[in-house]
Each structure stands twice: as C-alpha cells, then as structure tokens.
Amino acid sequence: MTTYTDLNTPLRTIMTPGPVEVDPRVLRAMSTPIVGQFDPAFTHIMNEVMEMLRHLFETKNKWAFPIDGTSRSGIEALLCSVIEPGDKVLVPIFGRFGHLLTEICERYGAEVHTMECRWGEVFDQEDVIKEIKRIQPKITAIVHGETSTGCMQPLDQIGKACRDQDVLLIVDAVASTGGTPVKVDEWYIDGIVAGTQKCLSVPSGMAPLTYNDRIEKVVHARKKVERGISTEEDRINEQTNNHPTIKSNYFDISMLQDYWGPRRLNHHTEATSMLYALREGLRIVIEEGLENRFTRHKYHEKALIAGLEAMGLSLFGNRECKLPTVTCVSIPNGVDPESVRRMLLQQFGIEIASSFGPLQGKIWRIGSMGYSCRKENILFVLGALEAVLIRHGVDINIGKGLQAALEVYINQPATALVTQ
Amino acid sequence: MTTYTDLNTPLRTIMTPGPVEVDPRVLRAMSTPIVGQFDPAFTHIMNEVMEMLRHLFETKNKWAFPIDGTSRSGIEALLCSVIEPGDKVLVPIFGRFGHLLTEICERYGAEVHTMECRWGEVFDQEDVIKEIKRIQPKITAIVHGETSTGCMQPLDQIGKACRDQDVLLIVDAVASTGGTPVKVDEWYIDGIVAGTQKCLSVPSGMAPLTYNDRIEKVVHARKKVERGISTEEDRINEQTNNHPTIKSNYFDISMLQDYWGPRRLNHHTEATSMLYALREGLRIVIEEGLENRFTRHKYHEKALIAGLEAMGLSLFGNRECKLPTVTCVSIPNGVDPESVRRMLLQQFGIEIASSFGPLQGKIWRIGSMGYSCRKENILFVLGALEAVLIRHGVDINIGKGLQAALEVYINQPATALVTQ
C-alpha cells in the first residue's frame, strides 16, 4: 500500500486568467467546521450570499445563487433551463468561450446561429443587433470577457435591443465580474454567470449566477418537482406545464429555486465549505467597494502594460476592447513559448498562461485578477519575465520594464484607492 | 449598504445521514494556498487522488476521479454519458434515491422500467435478476445504501447477472462508500458514485466515481472534443462516431477523461480546494484502513442501536438489510417530530434528520458516518434524545439508553480497532 504524505504544495505567484491566488481570508473561512444544510445557521448564510450576489451583479433580481460546479456549470444551468429543442439561439463568437456556448446550446437541441469575428477583436454592437433582428432568436448567448483573447464585448446596446425584440440575453461574465463593471440591470441582461476563481479570488467550484423574471417565466413553464419528494399539488401543477422538462436534473433551475427559496425543498446538498468561501470572497468585494475594486484592477493593468511595452513587447488584440483583467502578449519570434513559461514556474514560481486554438503558441496571457492583482505581483512578473526572456536570447530593452511600472506606482500613487 | 460580519457559525454535533462533521484534518487541508490547474504540483495531486479512489472503490479501473459537483452530479454524469435516447434502463426502487435515478434517466430520454418494493425493505437479488432477464435493459441503475430508508441492497449476484447478460450496472453508493464494503470489481459493478459529505467526512461539492472499460467503450463511441480546442485529428475521429453526442457538456465523461488523463485537455478548472479536501479525506481512509473503518462503523452502530432499543424506541426497516451508517427510528405516537428535532438542535446543538415522501413524519434518521461516527457523539445523541423525549412526554425507559450503549463500549471494548 502506498503511503501518502501530508499535502505539501509549493507557494506560487499565479498570474494566469484563473484560477488565481485565493485571498487568505477566504482560505481561512473554508477551514470553518460545517453545519447541516437545513440548519437555520446555514440557510441564513445562503440568504446572505444571495443578497451579496445581487450587490455584485448590480441587480434587483430575486434569484441570485451559485451552482455547485465550476464556472461552465453555471452557463450550462442557465442555457439548459431555457433552451427547448429547436429554439433559435444566436451566438456571436470572438474566442474560445463563444465556441463553448455554441457547443452547450447544440447539445441541448438548439438551432444555433453564429457570427464570428477575428480573435483579438469584438463586435460592433450594431452588427450584433442587426443579426438579432434578422435571425429573431429566442436567446442571444454571448461572452463578456473572453479570457482566450483578453477582449471585452460591450453589451449595453445589445441588451437594450434584446429587450426591445423580446430576446433573452444570456451572458458569460466569468472572467470579468468583480474586476470590471458588469451592470446586469442597466445593460438589460436576463441571465448571467460569474466565476469564483477569477476576480473573486475564491477557489474554483462554484458558479454564481443571477437571472430575472423573464427567465423565471420560461423556467416556470417547464417546472417539475423531483419524484420521491413531490406532493400531490406539485403533480397537478406539472400537468398544466405544456413545455418539455429541462433535460438535466442537476442543472434544473426550477428545482434549484425551490431549494434556494423559502420552500427549501431538498435538491442537492449545498457545498458548505465552498459557500463559506464564496461568502467571504463577496464580503471582501463589498468591503473594498465595487468601484474601488474596478479602479484597482485598471491601475495595476496600467502598470503591467507600461512595463511590458517598455520592455519592447507587443500586446495582442485591439486595445479599444481590452479586458482589464487579462493582458495578452505576442510571443517574440523564435522563442519557445513553453520553455519561457516553464522557466518562470520552475525558477520564479510564477505561472502565466498560454492560449487556445488559433492563438496557441502565438500569445502569453497574464492575468491580474482579484487577490493576484497586487503591486508586488505585477513587479515580480515583469522582473522575472525580463530575466527569462534574456535567458532565452530575446532582444529586449533591458531594465526598462520595471522602471516603467515603478513610474506608474511611484509617480501616480493610488491615493484614491482604498486598497492597492 | 449592509455590512456583513465575519463568518460566525455554531459548532454542531451532526448525526444526520449527511452532510456530517468534516474531519479537522480535511478542514485544515482546505486552507492550503492553491496552485494552478496545470501546475505539475497539481496534476500530481490529481493523479494521487485517482489512485486513492481506486483503493476506496477496491477496483483496478483505469478511470476514477471526482465530478466537480455534489453527489448527484456524479450520478448524472455516469447516466447521461451512457444513456442514448430510447435506451432501456431498469431501476429497482426501494426509496427516494431510486426515484431520483428514474428521473435522471427519463430526462436523458431513456425508456425506464421500474420495480418497487416497500420502503424499509430491499429486493431479493433473484427478483431483480429475473426482471433483468425479462426486460433486457442496456443499463440497470440501482442504489446501494438508501439514506431515505436506511436500507442496503446486496449487489454481488445482481452484478454477476448483469455481466452475464451484458447489461451495464450503475450504482449509487453515495451513502455507503467508505463506511461499509463496496467492492466494485468483485461485485461486477460497471460504474459507481460515492459521496464526500457522508462516510468520507469531506464537505459536499465533489462526486467521486469510477467506471470500467465497458462504460469507457460506450462513452468512446460518443466522444467529442470541445470546439475551440479540438484538433483536425479530433474532428476526423468524431466523424466515425455513429452514436449521438452526450447531451451535457459539463458531465461528458469522454471529455473529462481527456482532462484527467495524460492529454490534460482543458475542460473545466478543477475545484482546487475541494480536491485538496478529498485527497486528505481519502488519505485518512487509507491510514485507518478500509476494514478497520467498516468495523468502526459497525461497532458504533451497535452501541447506537443498543441505546435506542433499551430506551424503548423501535427501529424502522428490515434489520436484515440495514445500512450500517444510517439508523432509522420510528417516531413514537403522538409526538411532534419536528419539535423534537428542533429541541435537539436548539438546546443540544445536535442535528438528526427527518425523511422524505411516505416516511415523512414517520421516522427520524440518525447517521453515524465518517468523523461523526465517534463514541462521544453516539453517547451524546442518546442522552440528548432521552432528555428531549421526556420533555415531550414520551413514555421511555428512563436511564436505560446510555447504560446499554456503555455496556457495548465498556464491556466490548474496541481492542481490534485502530481508531475508535
């Protein structure tokens, strides 16, 4: 029999677009002894988290809770609860996670219409709106912050157009929520999913989402209460539902509502320690203040970009639509991208990311999210990257990167920021 | 703006059939700073957990990993990856979670055949085998330990018969694994799911599963690599698949294999801290030893039953098929069951469970699982229950319950046990 040692992991500086470093207060919250799932002490925490999520999403929606799964579980929960076979869905794609949306929609039987733009760009909102008017889908599903390309799609006009056309707008805001404004009500977003392991600095394993009464209405028409716990009244109500049952049991939002709502009908057993983590992560967001938090992310992004450009590196992607929490660097000619990443990890304990599909081998992605988005991390990654690139024989402006970042930090101090 | 206090939860004695008390070592493991998902330090841990799960399940299966979701997510992952629309599935039902199996199968388009027995009983294996031969399903899906009734279904002959008939046997062993023998290979189980928040004393939020090459073969014929990361070769291979794509992206085991296997193809972002927790929980199981662990569960069950019966309470369900980790007590006539549970919680900080469907208001369920399955917890719950029942005017044998349990603990000490 193999014996296993005590968990013994290295400490890393994690500068990827997720998972990022977990806030130490969140780690501590997770070591709290648990209580039972229907203990009033726990249902109180569930209610608190719902309220905190409404704040995060800047919404008055009744429903805001996490799915117990990683980010994509939240996306699948929203989509599969709304999509009925044959429904038309429009998916504008500007990176890998747009493809994921199409894939999920297709699996649940949607008639998917796509439009694509080059990776590194986003859509002119007018073009999407035209397509919405032409296709007249039931749903438009779109990514807000595309981690694969570091681009961010403006949504305000698309949201308004969807509302006017009576189209549901479902948004993947996994990489953006908590790091840059995501205004659910103001932008007319009907359903949206955030990530925990990105700008919230909570470990992966929960997918916070919110949706409005327009989605609730669709879900209600498909409602089913689980056999083995349903009442006679439930069964009578279900007979009047003339819409097909939601394919997934685990992701059935109509049942999740009965668990998160006052009926407290058992569905799954809520992931206690992860909910403690999410609560603490949200508490930290609220304590810092959304606006302060967004300012902090922009501030460190500025220092990071200044450093990279002073070093002589080029950023990838249209700067006009840059996602403030992910910075993509074009890989200099002739350098082995994985060798650079490996040396950063092995010598400096720093992790940065590669990318997917057409961008594999073309760009590195540096995340500056949540707790990882700190002055010392930005400076450390710049210094380390310079050293590793020199070691790889890349012709860069030696010594300039850190000076440019320090220029930002010393000459433009973050006086207005509550937290640096 | 509401301000939120530091997480401040009461300490409970959790004697439900889950979630149960988390082992303090597991809680501590969760507060470990995280590393990135493709960090060699993390993929090493993923491999370790796979190996530990094979030990837990007593299997040589290649595939053993957790789904990032609560227990039912693992059940849904196995079922939806195997079920194609129109497939025949036989579900023998002896409690609430048998109904859950039928519901999941139906949602994914199976032709479900059920057989039912009275709650509190299990099936004669021969009766199930007869039905398998008659129906000739593609899959038999069955619960091993039914938490809703505290009954455990023997599976060895059913497994053998399924193998002989070329039927896939998929088992929900959420409540039993780690507390009582679950011999995956010896019993010819093709796919099985365990629970974390039960006998492993890890928080809810992961669903460990394993499956053999018979299931892998079915899944392989439906394999699809996600768009946005698939290669030309993947797309050519997919064209030869003549089976329908798995409905769920999140639960698609063919993609999960590529993430847990050597290809390390990104699917989700593994739930880092929960995996740390699972690893620690499994490490504790291995350290204690499976046989010692099962003996410990039986030992405390014996003391619990002795105490309850000496008090004058009756157990619910056929003793012959009792699940050692859940003890169901018939609620004495005339007592308000919820008032008793409330007083246990409010005055003693002890949680026991009610039940579902036909057993609601009829039985209490006392769990003795994992870290909660300790001498002091058994004695505490017996003493508290006596006091609360007296307070509720129930005619019981005062003072006898604890004496009977002490009789077990003092006169039949657990000398053979490594851990009590």
With an 8 Å Cβ cutoff, are B273 and A30 in contact? yes
- pLDDT < 70 regions, chain A: 1, 415-420
- Hey, is the C-beta of B231 within 8 angstroms of any chain A C-beta? no
* Distance to chain A for B412, nearest Cα, Å: 30
Give the model's confidence band at B311: pLDDT under 50 very low, under 70 low, under 90 confident, else very high: very high
Could you state, in order of their start, the residue ranges of all structural domains in chain B?
Answer: 23-284, 290-411
pLDDT of residue A234: 85
Please name the member of B1, B99, B197 whose beta carbon is closest to the beta carbon of A227.
B99
Return d(Cα B403, Cα A343) in angstroms, integer.
Answer: 66
pLDDT of residue A322: 98
pLDDT of residue B233: 85
Longest dimension (CA), chain A: 75
pLDDT of residue B229: 79
Residues of B in contact with A98 (CB under 8 A): 228
- Hey, is the C-beta of A68 within 8 angstroms of any chain B C-beta? yes
Residues of B in contact with A251 (CB under 8 A): 248, 250
* Token pair of B5 as six digits: 């206090």
- Phi, psi dihedral angles at A45 (to 5 degrees): -65, -40
Count CB-CB contacts under 10 A for residue B92. 24
A202: region left, alpha or beta (phi > 0 left; psi from -120 to 50 alpha): beta
pLDDT of residue A224: 83
Count CB-CB contacts under 10 A for residue A376. 9
Percentage of chain B exceeding pLDDT 90: 91
Give the type of residue at A114: T
Return d(Cα B310, Cα A305) in angstroms, integer.
Answer: 74
Count CB-CB contacts under 10 A for residue B314. 12
* Distance to chain B for A164, nearest Cα, Å: 31
Class of domain A22-284: alpha beta
Within 8 A by CB and 6+ apart from A154, the residues are A122, A125, A321
pLDDT tens digits, A339-352:
999 999 999 999 99
**Residue from B374, B382, B375, B376 nearest B311 by CA:** B382
Q: Tell me the pTM.
A: 0.97
B219-226 long-range contacts (CB < 8 A, ≥24 apart) are B219/B81, B219/B82, B219/B246, B219/B253, B219/B254, B219/B257, B220/B254, B222/B81, B222/B84, B222/B246, B222/B254, B223/B254, B223/B255, B224/B252, B224/B254, B224/B255, B225/B255, B225/B258, B225/B265, B226/A99, B226/A100, B226/A103, B226/B255, B226/B267
CATH topology of domain A290-411: Aspartate Aminotransferase, domain 1 (3.90.1150)
Pair type for strands B363-367 and B326-330:
antiparallel
Q: Pick the more confident residue, B13 or A412.
A: B13
pLDDT tens digits, B346-374:
999 999 999 988 999 999 999 999 999 99
Return d(Cα A361, Cα A352) in angstroms, integer.
Answer: 13
Q: What is the ipTM of this complex?
A: 0.96
Return d(Cα B124, Cα B109) in angstroms, integer.
Answer: 28
Return d(Cα A130, Cα B227) in angstroms, integer.
Answer: 26
- Hey, is the C-beta of B108 within 8 angstroms of any chain A C-beta? yes
Name the residue of chain B whose CA is nearest to A360's CA: B229
Return d(Cα A209, Cα A74) in angstroms, integer.
Answer: 7
- Of the residues B11, B68, B101, the best mutation for testing chain A's interface (the one with the most A CB atoms within 10 Å of its CB) is B68
- Hey, is the C-beta of B45 within 8 angstroms of any chain A C-beta? yes
**Residue from A128, A78, A132, A87 nearest A106 by CA:** A87
pLDDT of residue A241: 80
Cβ atoms of B144 and B150 closer than 8 Å: no
Equal CATH topology for A22-284 and A290-411: no
With an 8 Å Cβ cutoff, are A249 and B76 in contact? yes
Residues of B in contact with A197 (CB under 8 A): 269, 272
A 147-176 → B contacts, CB under 8 A: 148
Within 8 A by CB and 6+ apart from A26, the residues are A201, A202, A203, A277, A280, A281, A284
Return d(Cα B185, Cα B178) in angstroms, integer.
Answer: 16
pLDDT of residue B416: 52
Cβ atoms of A46 and A305 closer than 8 Å: no
Angle at B201 between CA B195 and CA B206, to 5 degrees: 40
B 191-220 → A contacts, CB under 8 A: 197, 203-205
Return d(Cα B381, Cα B314) in angstroms, integer.
Answer: 16
pLDDT tens digits, B82-125:
999 999 999 999 999 999 999 999 999 999 999 999 999 999 99
Whether B420 shows a pLDDT value over 50: the answer reads no
With an 8 Å Cβ cutoff, are B32 and A9 in contact? yes
Return d(Cα A63, Cα A67) in angstroms, integer.
Answer: 12
* Distance to chain B for A240, nearest Cα, Å: 18
Query: Radius of gyration (Cα) for chain A, nearest Å?
Result: 22
**Residue from B284, B4, B275, B138 nearest A55 by CA:** B4
Pair type for strands A168-173 and A191-194:
parallel
Establish whether the linkage from the previous residue to A208 is cis, with ω within 30° of 0.
no
With an 8 Å Cβ cutoff, are A229 and B52 in contact? no
Strands (E), B331-404: 350-351, 363-367
pLDDT of residue B10: 97
* A387, B176, B378 from B416: Cα distances, Å: 60, 22, 19
What CATH number should be reported for the domain whose range is B23-284? Answer: 3.40.640.10
With an 8 Å Cβ cutoff, are B270 and A204 in contact? yes
- Of the residues B234, B249, B342, B354, the best mutation for testing chain A's interface (the one with the most A CB atoms within 10 Å of its CB) is B249
Within 8 A by CB and 6+ apart from B267, the residues are B226, B255, B256, B258, B259
- Hey, is the C-beta of A22 within 8 angstroms of any chain B C-beta? yes
Establish whether the linkage from the previous residue to A358 is cis, with ω within 30° of 0.
no
What would the mean pLDDT of B336-340 be, rounded to a whole number?
A: 97
Count CB-CB contacts under 10 A for residue A126. 11
Residues of A in contact with B148 (CB under 8 A): 228
With an 8 Å Cβ cutoff, are B204 and A268 in contact? yes
3-class DSSP state of B67: strand
Residues of A in contact with B229 (CB under 8 A): 96, 356-357
Instruction: Please provide the average confidence, as pLDDT, over all residues in chain B.
Output: 96
Burial level of A1, CB count in 10 A (0-12/13-18/19+)?
exposed
B14: Cα separation from own chain's centroid: 16
* Distance to chain B for A360, nearest Cα, Å: 9
* Distance to chain A for B166, nearest Cα, Å: 27
- Hey, is the C-beta of B248 within 8 angstroms of any chain A C-beta? yes
Please name the member of B100, B108, B272 whose beta carbon is closest to the beta carbon of A226.
B100
Quick one: CA torsion of A177, A264, A250, A106, rounded to 10 degrees? -60
Residues of A in contact with B19 (CB under 8 A): 34, 36-37, 269, 272
Stated as kind and residue range, the H or E segment containing B420 is none
Cβ atoms of B193 and B75 closer than 8 Å: yes
- Give me the half-sphere count of Cα atoms (radius 13 Å) on the Cβ side of residue B311: 28
Name the residue of chain B whose CA is nearest to A7's CA: B29
* Distance to chain B for A96, nearest Cα, Å: 5
- Hey, is the C-beta of B229 within 8 angstroms of any chain A C-beta? yes
- Phi, psi dihedral angles at B92 (to 5 degrees): -80, 125
With an 8 Å Cβ cutoff, are B4 and A249 in contact? no
pLDDT of residue A415: 61
Please name the member of B19, B102, B107 whose beta carbon is closest to the beta carbon of A248.
B107
* Distance to chain A for B118, nearest Cα, Å: 13
pLDDT of residue B417: 57
- Give me the half-sphere count of Cα atoms (radius 13 Å) on the Cβ side of residue A121: 8
